[in-house]
Amino acid sequence: MIKLIEKIEGEAKLNFHFKNNKIDNVDVDFMSTRHIEDILKGKSPLDALVINPRVCGICGHAHLIATVRALEDCYESIEISNKAKIIRELTLNFELIQNHFKWFYLTIFPLFGFKQNVMKAVIPSQLMGKAIALFGGQYPHTSYAIVGGVVCEITQMDLIKLGHYIDETIQFFEKNLLDVDVQMLQDCDNVMNVLSKSGDLVDVLHLIEKNGWLEYGKSYDRFIVFGESSYFTKGKSIKTRVMHNLFLEDVIESVSTTSFAKSVHYHGKYYEVGPLSRAMVKKTPLIKDAHKKYTDSIFTRILARVCEISQLLLHCKSLITELDLSEPSYIKPKMDITSLNSSGSSAVEAARGTLIHKVVIEDSLIKSYEIITPTQWNLCGGVNENHGVSQKAMIGLENIEIAELVFKSFDVCSVCTTH
Amino acid sequence: MKKKVRILWLGLMTCNGNTHSFLNYPHLEQFFNDFEFIYHPIIDSEYSLEDIISQDIACDVLLIEGAIADDFIKADVLGIDIIKKYSKIVSKIVTVGTCATFGGIFKESHYKNVSGLHFREDKRTEKYNHLFEKTISISGCPIHPETLVSTLYAIKKGLSLKLDSYLRPKDYFAYTVHNGCTRNEYFEYKVDNHHFGELEGCMFYDHGCQGPLTHGSCNKILWNEINSKTRAGLPCMGCTEPSFPKQNLFSTKKNMGIPEFLPVGVNKRVYLTLAGITKAFKIDRLQKKLLDD
Ligand code: SF4
Ligand code: SF4
């Protein structure tokens, strides 16, 4: 039985195979592609900073940051001020936050029988858009992070405004999603404390319990995070065992015969990426507790994504205090990038998980460019024995509606996947 | 209950950037009192994409986002077949974004005849000539949300909009992006020592700013209500124009020290004369940092 899954930044086709009334296999098919990697070939390296945000309307900023880091990786050494590094981290975090609000209120909320709440999605995401625009000039589709730093200069006055955007978003979180002081939530290590509160997140979690869905959505219980920042830690977690030495070279992308999306594995294995993975590798107390009780089910996955909002907001507040405005925003690289014959790569944590960019520069132009998106990790899968992460999570379910919920719990992005 | 204007938002070869930019419109609640989507890429709608494809649903305005190609498939049908069907049903078509208007970034993809609805870059495509009268273009990568929403209101009210030769409302596209940029003084007096990461300086002379040759409202109606690329210190990439994206976007192409592309309507002689005069003077205030003593 084929179902068209709509409104996931595009569409995907799921072909369900049933055996004894249970889903026995699912083929995930993305139906088109836009050839961005080919479009980049032969362009001037810096132009990638303008083209790549256009991979995706909702996580284009992560593509910008991945691009600038991959280009900077082409240098043997390049100096970036601490201030520029912090600003880049801030704006990337803001993008993650707006994404999570949109995902919860536009995608997840309606699957639990509530009316889609566009205003609750846009009020906080507009605030985060302003916070990015303060540095980048606009959101979406700024290219303000360039090789050597960021183009903007900011003042104390800007930081006052920024503080308001963040505080208002925190208040919105507390008032709507979960009525707990975000600071206390940070230290909370018992998911029961969350369930005893009120808010839209709590309503959804209660429904998962009440409907008997706590077992749904479990996959390999294998998580991976490549992007490092002052908040996220690189590593992989296999059934709570965390290891930190990972090698980008061992990430393999392979072409699928059935879909435009290519599949991605690490040492031959599929891993889940995204907020749940980040929390597992970072050992966030609340998510660890939920995982202990419900492992990698939709309960834990949804909780992890929503709680990442408050964690990142608080982290941004502390990052701002580390900004030294007297540092330069931009340090002109000693060599022009077009004078390099080199290659570079980067890994960035985007809203949906690890995003990898690889570039080769030759004769002052881009020779090749490769983009591996988070949704590829989560959704692309193999055939039969070697199921992808989301396939595995849907197998064994009895009905297609639940399978759609499980699928969407990964926060699928069709446009990214079909770049 | 008053009748709402019914919109079909059709995403073709797109990144969804316009969809998300639209969500930044500050008065969306107001908008939803007056408009409803029969289909939208992320907002819930009465009909599914499958309904839209299999039935003929009543609709007033067709919004097309993304580049159009003869062989681009959307949910198992040709994207152009959806356009063909609904362009007959609706009374207005709006191309949303530079891809849908001129082909944009994705005109370089491998599909057949990739273009905007009526233009491939600045050339007319002829194929949809019969729809020309019905169409308004809102270019931009992405569109500015206010530009789109106010145009939809103008359609609702039956206002006759003045359009430029690319069918863009002059209310927004008669301005250049340069108009209203906080770096204007540095442009006027030809202070050509801009460095990235500074409040001061104009990016026209060295860093590829296309503000003076780009039609758009970026510095008239700010982005996210607070800022613009050029104010922040990022050169305008000319994203509302047929030529977007040009190449070498961070540097100014020059012939014998003179920028190859001059401000809209300014010929080389005028430019050189003015440049000669301003260059003869040095304005100390503009050589210093803004916030220094
Ligand atoms: S930076 Fe660009 S938009 Fe601003 S004044 Fe200079 S040329 Fe005009
Ligand atoms: S400043 Fe230029 S590149 Fe930026 S949005 Fe406006 S028209 Fe597009």
The domain spanning residue B42 has which CATH number? 3.40.50.700
Q: Which helix (H) or strand (E) holds A183?
A: helix A182-187
pTM of the model: 0.97
Among the three residues B170, B188, B222, which one is the final residue of a domain in this structure? B170
B18 and B134 co-located in one domain: yes
The number of angstroms, rounded, from the C-alpha of A29 to the middle of its chain's C-alpha atoms is: 21
Q: Indicate which of A56, A151, A329, A336 best probes the interface with B, i.e. most B CBs within 10 Å of its own CB.
A: A151
The residue whose CA is least distant from atom 7 of ligand 1 is B204
Q: Report pLDDT for A239.
A: 86
Residue A328 · residue A95 · CB < 8 Å: no
| Nearest 10 degrees: Cα torsion B98, B103, B108, B109 | 100
**Which residues of chain A have a pLDDT value below 50?**
none
Domain that holds residue B119: 5-170
Provide the 10 A C-beta neighbour count for residue B182: 17
Q: Does the distance separating the beta carbons of B44 and A139 come in below 8 Å? A: no
- Using a 6 Å cutoff on CB, does residue B52 contact ligand 1? no
Residue A260 · residue A10 · CB < 8 Å: no
B146 and B205 co-located in one domain: no
- What CATH number does residue B277 fall under? 4.10.480.10
> Do β-strands A235-238 and A12-19 pair in parallel, antiparallel, or remain unpaired?
unpaired
B193 and B137 co-located in one domain: no
- Using a 6 Å cutoff on CB, does residue B177 contact ligand 2? yes
What CA–CA distance (Å, rounded) separates A119 from A134? 22
Under DSSP, the state recorded for A269 is B
Locus of tokens 């005028």: B270
Q: Report pLDDT for A5.
A: 86
B179 and B238 co-located in one domain: yes
B181 and B155 co-located in one domain: no
The residue whose CA is least distant from atom 6 of ligand 1 is B202
How many CB pairs below 8 A link A and B?
A: 200
The number of angstroms, rounded, from the C-alpha of B108 to the middle of its chain's C-alpha atoms is: 18
Average pLDDT, chain B: 95
What CA–CA distance (Å, rounded) separates B97 from B81? 20
B40 and B155 co-located in one domain: yes
Q: Does the distance separating the beta carbons of B44 and A133 come in below 8 Å? A: no
- Using a 6 Å cutoff on CB, does residue B230 contact ligand 2? yes
Among the three residues B120, B144, B170, which one is the final residue of a domain in this structure? B170
B74 and B21 co-located in one domain: yes
Ligand 1 atom nearest B183 alpha carbon: 5
Q: Which helix (H) or strand (E) holds A66?
A: helix A60-72
The residue whose CA is least distant from atom 5 of ligand 1 is B184
Q: Does the distance separating the beta carbons of B49 and A54 come in below 8 Å? A: no
B94 and B37 co-located in one domain: yes
B142 and B156 co-located in one domain: yes
B75 and B209 co-located in one domain: no
Domains and CATH numbers, chain A: 2-410 (1.10.645.10)
Gap from B160 CA to chain A (nearest CA, Å):
30
Q: Report pLDDT for A383.
A: 57
Among the three residues B117, B148, B170, which one is the final residue of a domain in this structure? B170
> Do β-strands A235-238 and A222-225 pair in parallel, antiparallel, or remain unpaired?
antiparallel
Phi then psi for residue A71, to 5 deg, are -65, -40
Comparing CB atoms, the residue among A4, A58, A155 nearest residue B20 is A58
Ligand nearest to the CA of B139: 2
- Using a 6 Å cutoff on CB, does residue B142 contact ligand 1? no
> Do β-strands A12-19 and A2-5 pair in parallel, antiparallel, or remain unpaired?
antiparallel
B200 and B276 co-located in one domain: yes
Query: Please, which residues have CB within 8 angstroms of residue B284's CB and are 6 or more apart in sequence?
Result: none
ipTM of the complex: 0.97
Q: Does the distance separating the beta carbons of B75 and A106 come in below 8 Å? A: no
B280 and B149 co-located in one domain: no
Q: Indicate which of A87, A138, A155 best probes the interface with B, i.e. most B CBs within 10 Å of its own CB.
A: A138
What CA–CA distance (Å, rounded) separates B107 from B63? 19
Most ligand 1 atoms within 8 A of CB, residue of B176, B187, B251 to mutate: B187
Number of structural domains in chain B: 2
**Which residues of chain B have a pLDDT value below 70?**
1
Gap from A266 CA to chain B (nearest CA, Å):
28
The residue whose CA is least distant from atom 6 of ligand 2 is B218
Residue A83 in tokens: 């201030």
- Using a 6 Å cutoff on CB, does residue B139 contact ligand 2? no
Q: Does the distance separating the beta carbons of B24 and A44 come in below 8 Å? A: no
Q: Report pLDDT for A261.
A: 66
